[in-house]
Structure 1
Amino acid sequence: MLNEKKYSEMLEEAEDIVIDAIAETMDLYGVTPSVGRLYAVLYFSEDPMTLNQMGKSLGMSKPSMSTGIHSLMDIEMVQKVWRKGERKDLYKAEKDFFISFISFFCKKWEREISTNLQAINKATTQLNFLLENPDVPESIQEKAQKDIQQLKDSTKYYIWLEKLVQTFRSGELFKLIEIDED
């Protein structure tokens, strides 16, 4: 029969397998593997952790961890928590991957929508000026007309993307694609 130390090592090894996988794939969220490892350690922690506790676990410098924690907070994968009597900042991981996924990708898509629709509106104003000005050569007006049509077509995509974001944020997505409750 295995002793408690051996069982503890097996548990730690199982967690390390997942920690390594999370660290390896965190580039999808725009963070480095070391920041991914930081998230994964918080993910497996039952209690919120201080930077010092995380540092002992990972062997990272406090400035690196502070930067990493702020990166994870920016993408809403980690939250700062308060505990009565605790003077140091505590952090906990968002453990619901569905929430993390929706928050992260919706933020990225909303940025794409906003940036590109603003550009399309600005460009369309200029293109319309070219179309309405009789002094503009016909060849330039033809190209401007094609550009306007192309921008109208791309606007359809951004309107669709807005609807997709709304579907994610409202939870309607989970009516379309159910989560297995095993």
Structure 2
Amino acid sequence: MDGEKRLEQARERVIDAISQNMHLYGVTESVGRLYGALYFQEEPMTLDEMKEELGMSKTSMSTSVRNLVDLKMVGKVWRKGVRKDLYQAEPDWYQTFIDFFTIKWRAGVTINVSAMEKSLAELQFLIEHDQVEEQVKAQAQADIEKLTSALEYYDWLNRLVDSFESKEIFKFIPKNGSGA
């Protein structure tokens, strides 16, 4: 096997792994493949170049790139004299991890906290309302305790996300693993 073929095989193995890994976190495998392919590119690529490289339709490619841009895994790059948009993978895996998970975690926290706060208000109303049966009031009180505990978890998760975004997490878990 010649060197170019081996290089391609080594890259393809990693691209497949990235694609499968991203799929575990709710990102389609084709988007994962696109990120993997962009990761190995030395130069930014246009949508047409990506389309040719991966054999995807232009619409699918555009949607995939937008998804990766939203996740901050790919960014637009400007080049003098180039009229088409160019895209490049974020090369820093630590930053990619931080951006990917903090975006997902913040969205999850927002959805759940909003629902819990609305439900807490309704449950409190049930407890304070005279015409509600005592059994319902007792169940509402138990639910309030559960939701209050869950809100403490979401406060912790928000602080964890803050530590990723501020890079404070690296004081506790250094990038290089040596503790230095």
**What TM-score, normalized to structure 1?**
0.91
7, 24, 39: which is aligned to 1:28? 24
Cα RMSD (Å): 1.7
Q: Which residue is 1:138 aligned to?
A: 134
Percent of pairs identical after alignment? 49
AA at the equivalent of 2:37: V
Within 5 Å, which residues of 2 pair with 1:155-166? 155-166=151-162
Q: Which residue is 2:89 aligned to?
A: 93
Q: Distance in 2 between matches of 1:78 and 1:117?
A: 30
Q: Distance in 2 between matches of 1:30 and 1:75?
A: 12
169, 174, 179: which is aligned to 1:173? 169
Within 5 Å, which residues of 2 pair with 1:69-108? 69-108=65-104
**1:110 equivalenced with 2:118 (yes/no):** no
Number of matched residues? 178
SS at match of 1:107: helix
AA at the equivalent of 1:12: E
Q: Which residue is 2:117 aligned to?
A: 121
**1:51 equivalenced with 2:34 (yes/no):** no
Q: Distance in 2 between matches of 1:20 and 1:108?
A: 22
SS at match of 1:79: strand
151, 173, 180: which is aligned to 2:147? 151
Cα pair 1:49 1:90 within 8 Å, conserved = yes
**What TM-score, normalized to structure 2?**
0.92
Structure 1 window deviating more from structure 2 (7-16 vs 136-145): it is 7-16
Deviation, structure 1 residue 82: 1.3
Largest Rg, 1 or 2: 1
Q: Distance in 2 between matches of 1:92 and 1:127?
A: 49
Q: Distance in 1 between matches of 2:31 and 2:111?
A: 28
Q: Distance in 2 between matches of 1:23 and 1:178?
A: 26
The 3 A distance-change label for structure 1 pair 181 and 112 is closer
Q: Distance in 2 between matches of 1:156 and 1:110?
A: 15
AA at the equivalent of 1:61: S
AA at the equivalent of 2:79: R
Cα pair 1:29 1:104 within 8 Å, conserved = no
AA at the equivalent of 2:113: L
AA at the equivalent of 2:116: I
Q: Distance in 2 between matches of 1:24 and 1:116?
A: 28
Output one character per residue of 1:44-89: Cα deviation in whole Å (capped at 9) or x when no partner: 0011001111122222221221111111112111111111111111
Poorly superposed stretches of 4+, deviation over 3 Å = none
Deviation, structure 1 residue 7: 2.4
AA at the equivalent of 1:160: W
**Structure 2 unaligned runs (5+)?**
none
